[in-house]
Structure 1
Amino acid sequence: MTDMQADRKNKMGLAGIILCTVMVLLGSSGAAQIANGADHASEQIQLDEFEPYYSEVLAAWEQASFRNASESKLSIPGTQIINQISGDDALSGSYNGKSNVLIWKKNTIEYEITVPQDGLYHMNLSYHPFNDSTTSSLNRRPIVLSVAIDGKFPFKEARAITFRRLFKDEWPIKKDRNGDDIRPRPLEIKQWITEPFTDSVGSYAEPLKWYFSKGSHKISLTGDQAMVIESLSLLSPSQIEPYEQVLQRYPAEQIKLTGDAQVIQAEQMSSKNDVAIQMMADKDPYSLPEAKGKEIFNSVGGERWAKGGQTITWTFNIQESGQYKIAMRAFQGFVSNMTTFRTISIDGKVPFEELLSFPFTYASNWKGIALEDSNEAPYEFYLEKGDHTLEMTATAAPFQPIIVQSERVTGMLREVDQMLKSMTGGVIDKNRTWKVAKDFPQLVEKLNRIHTELTHMADDMLQANKRRDITLQMIETSVEDLESYLKHPDEIPYKMEEISSLQEKMGGIKETLVKAPLQLEQIYIVPVDVDFPKMEAGLWRKVTSTVSHFFYSFMKKDNLSDLDDKALNVWVNRGRDYVNLLQELSDEMFTPEYGIRVKVNLLPDENLLIYANAAGISPDVALGQPQDKSLDFAMRNALVDLSQFPDFQQIAQQFAPGALLPFYYNNGYYALPETQSFKVLFYRKDILKRLGLGVPDTWDEVYDMMPALQQNGYNFFVPSSDFITFIYQNRAEFFSEDGMRTALDTPDAFKGFKQWTELFHIYDVEKNVPNFYQHFRKGDMPIGVADYNEYMKLSVAAPELTGWWGIAPLPGIPQSDGTIARWSSGGQTTGFIYKSSPRKEEAWSFLKWLLSADVQERYGLDLESFNGIEFRWNTANIEAFTRLPWPKDDLHVILEQWRWYKEMRILPGSYFVSRELNNAWNRTVVDGMNYRESLEEAVVSMNREMMRKGQEFGFVDSTGSVLKTLNGPVVTGPWDGVDTYDAE
């Protein structure tokens, strides 16, 4: 694109984009008019942008005088589809009391509807999550659909419309042996649900509006989870009136109500639409039931109730019709000075406009919050006698304008960053003089527009939040920085790093604003003439509570030195929820079958194992340990050689051979993997398609695509520390066959090291990327190598990218037999048995039981049920892994990569390998040393340390002669064991 074209595109601005979108929605005639009037319309979309936000499109519709449709409702039976991608993905049938409904498994279905008049409509879906024996593991995830009208997405949010499931917690709450509450299991409420189409992250307090012109239209729904559809409806949007108008419609004559407040314990939810919403234990003196030194679930929410769209419902009963007021004990002290908002409904409807986004201001302590106006006058609610529901939904609606502005500013800053890199070659040279205003006027113009946008952002942020916070301060500081740059435009090229940093700051604003944490303890329904009960602890209550907590702290709890002589003692280096669940499963499944009682303790720090072992205190089994920890203990004769058990080889077959390499030492295996991460290639489908690029299968194909990426301001991502991939893919090994020295001085090793370093200093892959997820989500790194953690982040926190990103096996190196070697590691957590254990056989039985496919599946599904999809259990047992709710296409990719899983062996002194390889990388990539000289220097240091450690552990004598070798297993080919479980 020429500078003139870029300038012309910028001048058209966002309004032009939105109006073009609106005209496209009007029909083919509108599109034709645009095509005739502006032949460069394709320039309006940057390569890394999606459709405009809903708020922008809605504003354009209103500006074009599009109005809400008049009172009408159009309904299409769910079975009345006109098209589907696969012939058997959607079939009519009966489900949960309803006949002639559509049972839809996945892919795309299409409806046709004839609209009698132009206008804006709400869309509703009457649905039921589909559950049967083959999909029971999926029933914890919300159903996400992308919605296209006449083949187009009218706005960005249409790509991810969420239809949630309903859950309730299992009661009564169980307690552990210490009297602490055990997190209850969520149970799905299986019922038909009618919900409007809303955005997936709670950016808007009201349902989305959709424009339909008079005539016939096609509505396409695309999803990858099974659901049952009764009907799809279009209806005129309802108008939510202000409080004063609603108040006028209350009955004029009312009986004066008396009586006590009705108290709802907030943790006793009647339903929630996300399993991630959890009860919380709080020790505030007014929180009931009182903790009294225990972990008692007496509140709900906090950071587990922070995502937009998450809803909690409570039921209550009104004894006498009349007017009531509502208050609650709330804690909102999570982000300093940041306001949190909730959409509040009664009996499924928002009573009045002020409750669309009711603010909960920041406070460092528990507060009594009444639903009231700005003058602190409580709102009155007319409630009929009988049962009612109260719903509260997390929303970030007031912050949505700032979120939109932040993304727009981030995009413009990205363009400025690309301009500066093109001008300077990516090098800040203060000896060079510039005439920016004269030679690059578009750069100054763009920075001026960013300055204007940021100024508006600051005003909008203060108006929405009502107080100054760190986000506002960051925006204002950025405004000041830009003012200083614009005062001296010829110095702007010297500020390239600062501008790049500013881009990262703006990119992080959205992450802050979309989170809306709130914790509730009690809710009060009170007649309007009755005072609210006291909701905050006074000074005396706080003092007495502090004293009592001090004494409760001396109460004896399970601790690591308190080993049970009559039970199998298991220490787990994970959070308390993991520990409680494992204890519950052990009591339920293991002890009845094996007759062995188990005591599971939380290990807060992995290093405590070392201290405990030195003190002569060791458990029978340790779990959740880093993969190198077992060999640290094994070298010091502290662990049991698991291969001595007769059925070890049968158990080991559940795991990839390359995964067991770090656990082999001196003719024995000393641990087994619990969890296993994976590396795959992440790619943005939309960006690669726009660039005309395919997904690379080999590294040569990666090199071929680099010019197209970088010429368009993009880049490929490879973790700079990932040397294992390149060493193994080039058929090299890290250690000699006898395990006494490194093997990185072979031709294949030099080739692998050269390939690794050339990516960064020849092909200009970014050397240091603090957060690939953010770059991938923004789009400036649309392809790269990452692991399981990135997969979960994208699945959980980037719903707007649903359907627009994918994964593929790692690029590899073609072999002579036609295969492509994709060797890579991933990282594991492990379990092992202590040699000092008097119950080695029982411990082996427990370890086998825990790592079996059935138990790993149950453990993984329960974790996800209790805590949400972000707690997806990446078990190392491949059979259990395939039973967990992974999308089938992604599962096939992960299993293909699993065939090539291979970790580095751990030997005395082997910790020097990673240290020296990273030093060698710095010498070659940063300092410019020849790759061969750099690696040779590293090899000398590695061999010296391995020799020293070999002497320490008795494998080498003082003269350097080898007394005993450390030969180990060799993995040279991909694991065939994957084929049994391949999703295809």
Structure 2
Amino acid sequence: MLRALTRWRAIIVPALVFAMLLPWTVGAAGNAGATQSTNSAEEASAVSAEEPQKESQEKSQTSAANETGEPYFLDKLAEWKQAGAPSEHDGRVGMSGASFARTSEGASVQVGTVDGRAEALDWRLTNEEWVEYDVSIDQAGLYQIDMTYRPVTDGNRRRPILLNVSIDGNNEFLESRSISLDRRWKDPFPAALDSNGDQIRPMAEDISGWITTSLRDSGGAYVEPLLWYLTPGKHTIRFTSNEPFALGSIELSEPEQVPDYETAMRENAGDNEGGTSGEPIVIEAEQGDWKSVSSISLRYDNEIGSTPYKRGKITYNTIDGSRWSTGNGEISWTFDVPESGYYKIGLRTKQNYSSNRSSFRTIMVNGKIPFAEMKAYRFPYESGWQGVRLEDEQEQPYLFYLEKGSNTISMRATGAPVKPMISELEKIVTDLMELATDLKALTGGSSDTNRTWKINTELPGFTDKLGTIADTLDAVQKKLIEVNGKKDAVTQGLFTTIKDIRSLLADPNQIPYKTDRFVTMQGKVAEMLQQLKTQPLGLDRIYIVPENEKFPKMEAGFFKKMEGTFVNFFSSFQSKERLGSMDDDVLNVWVLRGRDYINLLQQLAEEQFTPKTGIQVKVNLLPDTNLLVLMNAADIAPDVALGLPETLPFDYAIRNGLYDLTQFQDFDTVHKRFAPGSWTPFYYDKGYYAVPETQSFSMLYYRKDILKELGLEVPDTWEEVYEMLPTLQQNNLNMAPTQHMPFFFQNGADYFTKNGLQTALSTDAGYKAFKEWTDLYNVYAVDQQLASFYQSFRSGTVPIGISDFSMYVQLMVAAPELNGYWGIAPIPGVKQSGGEVARWMGGNLQSSVIFKKTKKAEQSWEFLKWWTSAEVQERYGSDLETINGLSFRWNTSNIEAFVHLPWKQEDLNGILEQWRWFKEIPNVPGSYFLERELQNAWNRSVVDGINYRSSLETTTLEIEREMRRKMQEFGIIDSKGQVLRPLELPEVNQPWEGVDPYVRD
């Protein structure tokens, strides 16, 4: 077992290590600031491409490679330098985009003039394609690659261009598989106003033209560009892309050297010796020249010191630090200076997003890092808005030389200083997984208190490895404190984990009784990693101050803050968003989603719906579904509600609280927009009481690299799953746990009888389905629990499993290092007698309803038809993703809109195949007991070892007891059990043919 684990460590470690990769943004409000205390050149370039730390060089000898044997850039660079690869040389090679040597078969490439640039490669790919260039190198050395490119800006392109860059057929390091070429976005100003005089968040516009940039990692883990070591002679560079773009030129050159501050000042000695004077130049941060990511959004800050400030009105006046926190997110501003000379820089920042933890920014002037201290400038934690002067350890402001006229200043998010520590923690997460697997193999997953263990005899080396983990955590904690400047929540979390490990080692023979502690510790470390991966920083203003002048006051004074506090306090009593204030002259729409969703819908309704229909719409935020119950009881209800969970419409329909949508004459037209199986939860008593809005698709996620290594194919049926599981488990891998729905629906079993009065679990098909579900764990040894499929999938320990739409978004956003390593496919199914594989499966739905008490039923129906139409759903989804990024991908239930969102065609085809088999469980009185009692049945059969048939019989009795009680309550049966009115549930037993027109090769 241990030998197998060791052999597979090279496979399961690396995907976690590449850590600075667009994780989920932090939601808190933030502060930044104060003075700089440790911004030496050495610290600023802690993990820069030019000066890797000694620890990283040593680590390169032992760190694991990824699944294809590729090291990480930090390790590969150390290896090259140790072998004597020079970074200073005169080698330089340039070529036009048109001078390519080869392309993939059928590649969509043309050569010509693009946007005024001649000899460009116009690459209009629709699927993954590659282009190769031949280069001749005269001098051996480390080379950076600069590229001039132009993204396609056709209105439906929002993703960055991801390149896989290989040299002579090899990816030299993992990061070369996912290199991001960003777009340029701009927020238009002045912002539009709504009917209340509040600003509407601007929609970022793609202003991308020709852009020149050095190739760098997509996660912001290194300050400087990526490098490749090239020997004299001919080499082939291959670029594989996922997005169309035009390529103007490629240049290979020596890495640019960035001097330290003292050297830079000596080089500029004599310039403007008298110093500059005059008024400070003030830049409003929200009015940037461009930003590299559309989701770096603006934020309304109501502190009176934030400008511009308009009393009682929403004004988007700052950069939202929680959205400007990951990857290489960059913002640039342009300003004019009256005379050449030296200037100081100050910023009004906010950095209170994570307690006591610093954030880092690379600061560039006129496109270049002026000196090494600006590579990763630290912004320490503060509790409120702070004025920050860019200064050294002695609190002396840095001077920046600027030429008269137009200049630029740019700031890029970077996690370079914490990259080595993140790499160590990622490895520790995997090591804890391995130790937990060892314990499971030893104990058989059972904590038998009557057995005596001798851990060092039965698991040789186990405690030594656990002790090494504790020592490594201790070293990482000290490094983090040094980089951060103080202890923070992460270092405190590491301290408690170290303490937990030491307590286990105090009595090693007790460890087998405490296997759950390893899962807990692994979760703690993974949670701390997520915190380290973000570098949030809010920004209000930038000050360019002449050398001879003092910094202006960058913070509001005490009395000014008190004034702002009172103003905001009294303004809070004038809220325009009170749900109880219903306007009879407009259509009142409540939405159970976040503020960004609300504002965008209001804007869209005012732009399209009202001019077309003449119906005024007021969209309000519904913070909690419980308010619907309370306000309905108070005879206050909206006309329309959106974003409701799939169980809620039935609960209101059975209480006569919703409008039966089948009463509208054109209901059938709307019905055809959606898969028949998405309507089933909204059916009651021959009517439909909600319209599907969004749905979460369950898909089979698989690691291409690991399955290929093991010689396994993506399973098409459950029989093929059972055949592959022994191979996975022999290599200490497994499949993710699976819920019950596919086993029931695919085997022809229903959850309720056709009349809706009883469960259908205790049928032959029901027993067969339940047995197959529990056999997956009892017979085929799939893990009963999994702390995080996402983390296990990234690490490679669970390379296959069924998950929902959120998994797709999470992998796309937070795991770009796995680009090309994973795929999705329709879930495994059951082959039918005709040869077709049935893949029935549902997914969580959100819905729209019309309340019964509305006096505007026809107007409400017009709104729902407009809202759920393909045109509006596509526009809404596109705008939402432009403003907030890929993590806000809109999973609309309207298939025509869905296919026009920016999906990879390969992924889209898989989703569409699964869409054919979409079916949700219908709702009946008491059906809320179903999920709970099925889980209880599973526990009895899998955990307690009770016969599956007896267990399911017990569950059936419990569910039907609750169903009878609720049916009597709602007059469906009488007190004696006599049926007063059957429910007659809809049947969906054929795959949806409405998908077929949208499938593309």
Deviations 1:124-167 (A, max 9, x none): 111000234xxx312x1111111111111111111110000001
Q: How does 1:612-651 map to 2 (within 5 A)?
A: 612-651=631-670
1:121 to 133, 136, 143: 143
The residue type paired with residue 220 of structure 1 is R
Q: Which stretches in structure 1 are left out of the alignment for 5+ residues?
A: 18-42
| C-alpha contact (below 8 Å) 1:343/1:358 kept by paired residues | yes
Q: Say yes or no: does 1:145 pair with 2:145.
A: no
1:48·1:780 contact (CA, 8 Å) conserved in 2?
Answer: no
Contact 2:4 2:731 in 1 (8 A): no
Residue in structure 1 matched with residue 917 of structure 2 by the alignment: 900
- Out of 845, 864, 881, which is 1:828 matched to? 845
8 A contact 1:570–1:598 mirrored in 2: yes
The answer as to whether partners of 1:403 and 1:509 remain within 8 angstroms in 2 is no
Which residue identity lines up with residue 144 of structure 1 in the other structure?
L
Q: Which residue of 2 aligns with 1:25?
A: none
Shift of 1:506: 3.0
The residue number in structure 1 matching 2:488 is 469
In structure 2, the partner of 1:157 is 175
Deviation at 1:736, TM superposition (A): 1.2
Q: Tell me how far apart the structure 1 counterparts of residues 937 and 695 of structure 2 sit (CA, whole Å).
A: 28
Per-residue deviation, residues 238-281 of structure 1 (Å, max 9, x unmatched)? 10000011111224253343222111111111100101101111
TM-aligned CA deviation for residue 869 of structure 1: 1.1
Question: Is the CA contact (8 Å cut-off) linking 1:69 and 1:121 kept in structure 2?
Answer: no
Matches within 5 A, 1:161-240: 161-240=179-258
**Cα gap change, 1:916 to 1:455, in 2 (>3 Å):** closer
d(CA) in 1 for partners of 2:141 and 2:989?
65
SS at structure 2 position matched to 1:718: coil
Deviation at 1:906, TM superposition (A): 1.0
Instruction: Give the 3-state SS of the residue equivalent to 2:461 in structure 1.
Output: helix
In structure 2, do the counterparts of structure 1 residues 526 and 203 end up closer, same or farther at CA, with 3 Å as the change threshold? Answer: same
The one-character-per-residue Cα deviations of 1:623-661 (angstroms, maximum 9, x if unpaired) are 111111111111111211111111111111110000011
* Contact 1:684/1:782 (8 A) holds in 2: yes
Displacement of 1:471 in angstroms is 1.8
Q: Provide the residue aligned with 2:773 in structure 1.
A: 756
Shift of 1:58: 1.1
The answer to whether the aligner puts 1:968 opposite 2:985 as a matched pair is: yes
Distance 1:923 1:438, change over 3 A: closer
Q: Aligned equivalents of 2:5 and 2:777: distance in 1?
A: 33
Paired with 1:707 and 1:586, the residues of 2 have a C-alpha distance of 55
**Residue aligning to 2:465:** 446
User: What residue in structure 1 maps to residue 131 of structure 2?
Assistant: 109
Aligned identity (percent) is: 46
Q: CA deviation at 1:490?
A: 4.0
Contact 1:47–1:687 at 8 Å: present in 2 too?
Answer: no
Unaligned runs of 5+ in 2: 18-61
CA contact (8 A) 1:201 1:514 kept: no
Is the CA contact 1:812–1:821 (under 8 Å) kept in the aligned structure 2?
yes
- CA offset digits 1:748-776 (Å, max 9, x no partner): 01111111122223323222323211111
CA distance in 2, matches of 1:475, 1:73: 46
Residue 811 of structure 2 aligns to which amino acid in structure 1?
A: L
1:148-206 CA-to-partner distances (Å, cap 9, x unmatched) read: 11111111111110000001012210122222221111111131001111000100011
2: CA distance between counterparts of 1:274 and 1:9? Answer: 35
Match of 2:276 in 1: 257
Aligned CA distance change for structure 1 residues 862 and 427 (closer, same or farther; 3 Å): same
Does residue 1:878 correspond to 2:878, yes or no?
no
Query: Take 2:403 and 2:722, find their aligned partners in 1: how far apart are those partners?
Result: 70
- Report deviation, 1:741: 1.4
SS at match of 1:205: coil
CA pair 492-910 structure 1, distance change in 2 beyond 3 A: closer
* 2:618 aligned residue: 599
Residues 493 and 667 from structure 1, CA distance in 2 versus in 1: closer, same or farther, beyond 3 angstroms? Answer: closer
Counterparts in 2 of 1:5 and 1:531: CA distance versus 1, 3 Å:
closer
Q: Report which stretch shifted further, 557-566 or 49-58.
A: 49-58
- From 384, 390, 399, the equivalent of 2:418 is 399
1:668 aligns to 2:687 (yes or no): yes
Q: Would the alpha carbon gap of residues 957 and 185 (structure 1) be closer, same or farther in structure 2, given more than 3 Å must change? A: same
Preserved CA contact (<8 Å) 2:697 2:805? yes
SS at match of 2:515: helix
Quick one: which amino acid aligns to residue 215 of structure 1? G
Letter in 2 for 1:267: E
Q: Residue 765 of structure 1: which of 750, 775, 782 is its match?
A: 782
For the residues of structure 2 that align with 1:365 and 1:2, how far apart are their CA atoms?
A: 51
Distance 2:141 2:202 in 1: 47
Summarize the alignment of residues 61-140 of structure 1 with structure 2, pairs less than 5 Å apart: 61-104=80-123, 105=125, 106-132=128-154, 136-138=155-157, 140=158
Residue in 2 aligned with 1:781?
798
Alignment match, 1:31: none
Give, in whole Å, the separation in 1 of the partners of 2:76 and 2:896. 47
Q: 2:947 is matched with which residue?
A: 930
Q: Does 2:332 correspond to 1:310?
A: no
CA distance in 1, matches of 2:172, 2:593: 45
* Structure 2 counterpart of 1:864, from 881, 888, 897: 881
Report if aligned partners of 1:638, 1:834 keep a CA contact under 8 Å in 2.
yes
Alignment partners' CA distance in 2, 1:423 and 1:963:
59
The answer to whether the 8 Å contact 2:692/2:893 transfers is yes
Residues 69 and 118, structure 1, Cα contact 8 Å, conserved in 2: no
Give the deviation of 1:947 after TM superposition.
2.0
Could you tell me which residue of structure 1 aligns to residue 627 of structure 2? 608
Q: Distance in 1 between matches of 2:300 and 2:8?
A: 58
> What is the distance in 1 between the residues matched to 2:87 and 2:63?
28
Q: Which residue of 1 aligns with 2:822?
A: 805
Deviation larger for 600-609 or 522-531: 600-609
Write the deviation string for residues 891-937 of structure 1: whole angstroms up to 9, x where unpaired: 00000000000011111222222222122122222222211111111
Q: Aligned letter for 1:685? A: K
Q: What is the CA–CA distance in structure 2 between the aligned matches of 1:301 and 1:738, rounded to whole Å?
A: 53
The equivalent of 2:317 in structure 1 is: 298
The alpha carbon displacement at 1:69 in A equals: 4.6
The amino acid across from 2:930 in the alignment is V
Q: Give 1:570 shift.
A: 1.1
Aligned match of 1:564: 583
Q: 1:416 to 1:596 in 2, by over 3 A?
A: same
- The alignment partner of 1:369 has SS state of strand
- In the TM superposition, residue 49 of structure 1 has moved relative to its aligned partner by 7.4
Q: CA deviation at 1:517?
A: 0.3
CA RMSD of aligned residues (A): 2.2
Query: In structure 2, do the counterparts of structure 1 residues 4 and 103 end up closer, same or farther at CA, with 3 Å as the change threshold?
Result: closer
CA contact (8 A) 1:341 1:360 kept: yes
Instruction: Report the number of matched residues.
Output: 950
Q: Please report the TM-score for the alignment, with normalisation by the length of structure 1.
A: 0.93
**Which residue number in structure 2 is paired with residue 421 of structure 1?**
440
Task: Find the aligned partners of 2:609 and 2:730 in 1 and give their Cα distance.
Answer: 59
Query: Partners in 1 of 2:447 and 2:310 — Cα distance?
Result: 59
What TM-score, normalized to structure 2? 0.92
Larger RCO, structures 1/2 (Cα 8 Å, 6+ apart)? 2
SS state of the match for residue 413, structure 2? strand
Moved more, 628-637 or 392-401: 628-637
CA displacement at 1:492 relative to structure 2: 4.1
Query: How far 1:438 sits from its partner (Å)?
Result: 4.6
Alignment of 1:493-532 (within 5 A): 493-532=512-551
